[in-house]
Amino acid sequence: MKITDIVYENVEKVRVMERFDMMTMPKRAKWYLQLLAWFLAIPETFQVHSKIRKHNVKGLKGPFILLCNHNSFLDFKVATRAVFPKKSTYIVAVDGFINREDLMRNVGCFMKRKFVSDIVLVRQIKHSLEENQTVCQIYPEARYSLVGTNSMLPDSLGKLVKLMKYPVVTLIGHGHHLRQPFWNLKKRKVRTSADMTQIVTQEEIKSISIDEINKKIKDQFQYDDYQYQLDNNILIKEKFRAENLHKPLYVCPHCKKEFTMTSKDNKLWCISCNETYEMDELGRLTNSKGNTIFSHIPDWFEWQRALVNKEIQDGLYNVDIEVDIDMLPNSSGYYRIGRGRLIHNSEGYQLIAENLDIKKPVISSFGAHIEYDYFGRGDGISFSTNEDTYYIYPVDQSYSVTKFHFATEELYKLQQN
């Protein structure tokens, strides 16, 4: 079926359908498909004039772990060019296999359910490095950046690196979000760049601690595409440059009301108090009345995080909303099992519907996977168990799923501490 199709099915019937094979070891890409991957990936990197700066990679020959930041689909193409002519294997979320599982597996992809602990994944990464002798590409933030800045990383990365005993290289793209922001997938004319850096050599792994490895990774995963735009004087002249920006910026900084922001073309405004911001060609925001509270998009974004954190700390955070629920049992596509309730509070997530009661404790997920207008289905959030992946859409689409992004991370940090 097409991803855009909404196919209704009984939850019991979906449960007995064939499941994704999560156990298969990754394949080394077939030579003709590798040629196709290069053919499809590399031209677009030249189109955006992507400059790849390489640091501390002299003598780097064999397999290694490549940790990439995640801003748009361009990330994959730049990574393919960065390691050329080496072959790669790729960790890809299960929804990336819909209607093309055989192709994905034959180009070296292996599947993962997001934010679910998976011991099999460790064996698959090890197989990629040792048996396939390929670069293993990992996107550890596990979701697209919402405003071109870094997201939380799992502390388990250091343990993984220590266990694998292979070099670690980071690839941090700059400008990928500007070209195709997650909140509006129309492409802009933007030149991009990337920094490819070996941060841990194979020899260093023997003596370096897990905490030191994690610090090295987190130090590299610091980026801000809007600051990059200013620093490099990148002008984005498309008139739609602020359209849908209200999806990540959902709280008005003037009247402090949630879910009252909207946008069109290069303007963003509150439908409650009518305060209006204009986004200029350098990505800066200016209030139409001269009362600019936030000119830098990530500052507005992080201010909202602080609001959610305070709501949690005050014991006031408790979401209970009506939702439409889709299940993804295999690569044939999504099945809508009906309506239910999504609850999120200090206990974690609970998804309730007829013959369905799924609980996800806070400590089980360091982040949330949200989508904006996912294949015409609306804004939603997904989470997984070891057996299933659920895509969940608020019936009231005025509720911003971005709040789940903040709440999931802030609850996790509080419980972790």
Say if residue 106's pLDDT is above 90: yes
Cβ atoms 263, 288 nearer than 8 A: no
Where along the chain do its domains lie?
A: 11-231, 261-313, 319-416
* Residue 310 predicted with pLDDT over 90: yes
Q: Which amino acid is at 24?
A: T
β-partners of residue 340 are 323, 353
User: Residue 416's pLDDT band (boundaries 50, 70, 90)?
Assistant: confident
Closest C-alpha to 26, from 166, 134, 167: 134
Tokens of 207: 């003596």
Reduced to 3 states, what is the DSSP secondary structure of residue 359?
strand
Assign domain 319-416 one CATH number from 1.10.606.20, 3.30.565.10, 2.30.29.30, 2.60.120.10.
Answer: 2.30.29.30
- pLDDT, one tens digit per residue, over 77-90 is 999 999 999 999 99
Rounded mean pLDDT of the chain?
Answer: 95
DSSP, collapsed to helix, strand or coil, labels residue 21 as coil
The fraction of the chain above a pLDDT of 90, given in percent, is 91
- For residues 394 and 322, the answer to whether their CB atoms sit within 8 Å is yes
Contacts of residue 279, Cβ cutoff 8 Å, sequence gap at least 6: 241, 242, 245, 266, 267, 268, 285
pLDDT digit string, tens, across residues 189-233: 999 999 999 999 999 999 999 999 999 999 999 999 999 999 999
Backbone angles phi, psi at 400, to 5 degrees: -85, 120
Concatenating the DSSP letter of every residue in 374-413 gives: GGGS-SEEEEE-SS-EEEEEESSTTS-THHHHHHHHHHHH
10 Å CB burial of residue 211 (0-12, 13-18, 19+) is: exposed
d(Cα 264, Cα 290) in Å, to the nearest integer? 20
Percent of the chain past pLDDT 70, that is, above it, reads 100
Query: 78 Cβ partners below 8 Å, 6+ apart?
Result: 45, 50, 52, 171, 173, 176, 192, 194
CB 202 within 8 A of CB 165: yes
- Bridge partners, residue 342, by sequence: 321, 351
Compute the CA torsion angle 141, 76, 372, 274 (nearest 10 deg). Answer: 90
**CATH class of this structure's domain 11-231:** alpha beta
User: Could you report the per-residue pLDDT of 147-185, keeping only the tens digit for each?
Assistant: 999 999 998 999 999 999 999 999 999 999 999 999 999
